[in-house]
Structure 1
Amino acid sequence: MSAVETRTVTRDSLFLLASIRVEQDEEAHKVRVRNLSDGGMMGEGNLRVKRGNRLQIELRNIGKVEGSVAWVQDNRFGIAFDEEVESQLARKPSGEASSLTERKSENSWAHRAPPAPTPQSLRKV
């Protein structure tokens, strides 16, 4: 990795827990959120995911967010959210997040995850 920062969206380093449900899996897994931005997050935990897996993430003060795995390295992984979130809400204690919801910002689609593939677009190998 180089020391040059290539991200266009700011992210916050933090430590909180999130609940993640992997596509077509009923069990929710607890993971640590290492950093969080409006467009995605880095998670860490004993969760077996692969690049492209679809996920549903439950974040404190934000709720359920859907996205896909962008990268995996050891027990850490990156998630690109389908829709942007107010990432600052997760930093607030539960119940104090309502003041930030009034802030409106324009969505940046630079980090939007691609849509899930349809069965018709898949081919047999």
Structure 2
Amino acid sequence: MTGVETRSVARDSLFLLADIRVEHNAEVHRTRVRNLSDGGMMGEGQLRVQRGHRVIVELRNVGAVNGTVAWVQDNRFGVAFDEEIDSQKARRPLQANEAEDTVLASPSWAHRAPPPPQRKNLRKI
């Protein structure tokens, strides 16, 4: 590594816990959040996901955020959020007086993973 940051979006290194649910699955998984930016996150845990899976991430002080698994490596994975969030809110201590509703910024198409293929377009080999 050269020590030069090549990413276009700043990320916060932190240690948070988040609840993640894969769409169409009722099971909730507690996952460690290692990096968080306005457009996505890196999670670590025993959650078995594949690239393209749609997920719902419950972040402290932010709420439920929809996203797509962008990459998987061992027990770590990246999630590209559908809409940008205020990632600094997740760093703050939990506030009892803050409203539950979350104001999301405009959609971030730069961080969006491609949609999973549709079943009708697949063929058996």
TM-score (normalizing by structure 1): 0.82
Q: Which residue of 2 aligns with 1:43?
A: 43
* 1:24 matches 2:24: yes
Determine if contact 1:82/1:114 at 8 Å carries over to the other structure. no
Gaps of 5+ in 1: none
**How many residues are treated as equivalent by the alignment?**
121
Q: Deviations over 1:40-87 (max 9, x none)?
A: 000000111111111010000111111111111111111111111110
Deviation (angstroms), 1:3: 4.4
Deviation (angstroms), 1:113: 3.2
Q: Which residue of 2 aligns with 1:124?
A: 123
Secondary structure, counterpart of 1:88 in structure 2: helix
Give the Cα separation in 1 of the matches to 2:83 and 2:40: 9
Determine if contact 2:83/2:106 at 8 Å carries over to the other structure. no
Q: Which residue of 2 aligns with 1:5?
A: 5
TM-score (normalizing by structure 2): 0.82
Determine if contact 2:22/2:56 at 8 Å carries over to the other structure. yes
Percent identical across equivalent pairs?
64
